[in-house]
Amino acid sequence: MKLYSFVFSCFVLCAMATAQQAKPQQAKPAQPQTPQRPAWLDTPEVHSDNSVTFRFLAPNAQDVKLAREGAEQVAMQKDDNGVWSVTTAPLTPDYYGYSIIVDGVRSIDPFNHLLKPNLLSTESMVHVPGPALPWETTDVPRGEVHHHFYQSAVAGDQRDFYVYTPPGYNPTAKTKYPVLYLLHGYSDDASGWSAVGRANVILDNLIAQGKVKPMIVVMPLGYGTMEIITLGWGAWSHTDVRDKNFSNFRQALLTEVMPKVERDYRVMNDRNWRAIAGLSMGGSESLLTGLNNLDKFAWIGSFSAGGMPDDFQADFPSLDAKANQQIRLLWIACGTEDRLITVNRNFREWLKTKGIQHTDIETPGMHTWMVWRRNLAEFAPLLFRP
């Protein structure tokens, strides 16, 4: 009897196991696969001497070049694995945008998460660290960057702006802060100064060092019409679009962005505590907006101004030496290797003929963020001083 029970139990267990194996299994959802960088494809590789090796896998390509910010394109060489590479000379510590041009087609680096956002040509970035630089992250109190959206009646679309608040900012406290309106350049978006220019890091470090007064920085979208972007790099030859872009931007800033900022943030709304500055297109916008609205801005900065028409008298019809009583700082900078150095020099000469006091700044460098980060680090400490 016991033997029968044992055999019967084994039979039941085997039948159950067989049934379980025959039972259809519910398929598990496929998991997304993240591309894994092969160990031998380390890119970009920053060496101890600050030289950088760039690598790109393109076994079927015929011609591959590195296009790095502030430098001429250089050819890359292919190895037996189909990996193209090139090593630079030692680079000055900074953040550098770059693209890989494969058979004439521009590409980002697929294994590099650090990007330089841009509406017309997004690039990858490489960081060559330098511990003493004002845009390096250090162990100091940090401010915050806030992102806002609104519907623009002037431009007829939805747009955004960013606001930096310094360390210790309390929206419920009585303390009020001076405000800098900081404008990006053509093809950038509203994140340009925080994502690429590292303006928030620069301000954090300079505030911690006691070199800059704590301030609020507003970084708006710098286009009065997005048509100037849809037309691409040839947009500046369309004078009607260019003029509409500058005019509408000024109106949107004064009637939409500034009222929102002054309602929602603890900023001083007196002209003596309000500054405007920008790079390239934003440099021209800071001049056109600031110098034509001296009742609202006492501090004006321009970094490599571009896109401004050459008829300065038409752009600044009321500007004369009387403006010196209102201007606390007019700071005009440009790199000596920048293609826009001539128009900036011409504008400064025109200011002299009008008797307008201003500060001329010329530094080595091209039309790059390496120049503009340094411009901001030098300009910000001058603001809101007696």
- Over 50: is that where the pLDDT of 13 sits? no
- Over 80: is that where the pLDDT of 315 sits? yes
- Over 60: is that where the pLDDT of 10 sits? no
Residues 358, 331 contacting (CB under 8 angstroms): yes
**pLDDT digits 0-9 by tens, 232-241:** 999 999 999 9
Chain position carrying tokens 């039972």? 23
- Residue 324: predicted pLDDT: 97
Nearest to 122 by CA among 113, 130, 131: 113
Q: Cα separation of 38 and 220, whole Å?
A: 40
Q: What does the pLDDT average to over 367-384? A: 98
- Over 90: is that where the pLDDT of 373 sits? yes
- Over 60: is that where the pLDDT of 346 sits? yes
Banded model confidence at residue 285, pLDDT cuts 50, 70, 90: very high
- Quick one: what percent of the chain has pLDDT higher than 70? 90
Q: Cα separation of 168 and 364, whole Å?
A: 36
- Over 80: is that where the pLDDT of 34 sits? no
- Over 80: is that where the pLDDT of 14 sits? no
- Residue 310: predicted pLDDT: 79
Q: What does the pLDDT average to over 178-182? A: 98
- Residue 240: predicted pLDDT: 94
Banded model confidence at residue 353, pLDDT cuts 50, 70, 90: very high
- Over 60: is that where the pLDDT of 158 sits? yes
Residues 98, 91 contacting (CB under 8 angstroms): no
**pLDDT digits 0-9 by tens, 183-228:** 999 999 999 999 999 999 999 999 999 999 999 999 999 999 999 9
**pLDDT digits 0-9 by tens, 241-270:** 999 999 999 999 999 999 999 999 999 999
Question: Which alpha helices (H) appear in the chain, and where do they start and end?
Answer: 2-22, 199-208, 227-230, 239-252, 258-264, 281-291, 312-315, 341-353, 369-379
Banded model confidence at residue 35, pLDDT cuts 50, 70, 90: low
Banded model confidence at residue 21, pLDDT cuts 50, 70, 90: very low
**Phi, then psi, of 234 in degrees rounded to 5:** -85, 5
**pLDDT digits 0-9 by tens, 64-87:** 999 999 999 999 999 999 999 999
- Over 90: is that where the pLDDT of 370 sits? yes
Q: What does the pLDDT average to over 316-329? A: 96
Which domains does the chain show, CATH number per domain? 45-128 (2.60.40.10), 144-382 (3.40.50.1820)
- Over 90: is that where the pLDDT of 230 sits? yes
Q: What does the pLDDT average to over 347-368? A: 97
Q: Which residue type, as a one-letter code, is found at position 242?
A: R
| Least confident segment among 34-43, 53-62, 200-209, 316-325 | 34-43
Q: What does the pLDDT average to over 152-178? A: 96
Distances (CA, A) of 142 to 32, 98, 210, 262, 331: 35, 28, 14, 22, 27
Q: Cα separation of 33 and 43, whole Å?
A: 20
